[in-house]
Structure 1
């Protein structure tokens, strides 16, 4: 019982914590700035700041930016960066319907 309560409180704390700096960016700005094969990791950092990311053993990185979609919902813009620091792919995942 105590473990379940602790886990619930921990999750609630995560849900209410602010996103990392740079994580929320207007969708139009992302789409205008990020060009696979051209945009670099350094350009992303300069334009939007740090965000949520995952670094894989292969050297690739996945960065996730959020764009407000209304009603407290967010679309996600996922960027795949190759080991050379160049954006390889980018895609948008629409916000879930309430």
Structure 2
């Protein structure tokens, strides 16, 4: 029984030290053509591009971020705002950071 608290502590430490996974990657052209504000749903995003990093707001809106390879180890970001009903409200492309 003394080993259980130690095992729990080790597991929690391992979880806390894991880096945040990057967003799902997809070509920017595919993202911009495949996501239509007012029509594309959360379920369609998951089926087409997979789950990715997201932030949920108290208002029910969610922001999802997909990455698009831009060369040289850099990535552009495709940011999607989902309304509370799960439909894309807006999109925005953020260019890759300068080296």
Q: Judge same fold: TM > 0.5, yes or no.
A: yes
Q: Which runs of 4+ in 1 moved over 2 A?
A: 17-20
Equivalent residue number for residue 30 of structure 2: 29
Aligned-pair distance for 1:40? Answer: 0.5
**TM-score where L is the length of structure 2:** 0.78
Aligned-pair distance for 1:97? Answer: 1.3
Unmatched 5+ stretches in structure 1: 1-9
Q: Secondary structure at the match of 1:44?
A: helix
1:19 aligns with 2:22: yes
**TM-score where L is the length of structure 1:** 0.79
Aligned-pair distance for 1:19? Answer: 2.6
CA distance in 1, matches of 2:63, 2:97: 21
**1:56-77 deviations in Å (ceiling 9; x for gaps):** 1110000000000000000000
Could you say if the C-alpha distance between residues 86 and 18 of structure 1 is closer, same or farther in structure 2, counting changes exceeding 3 Å? closer
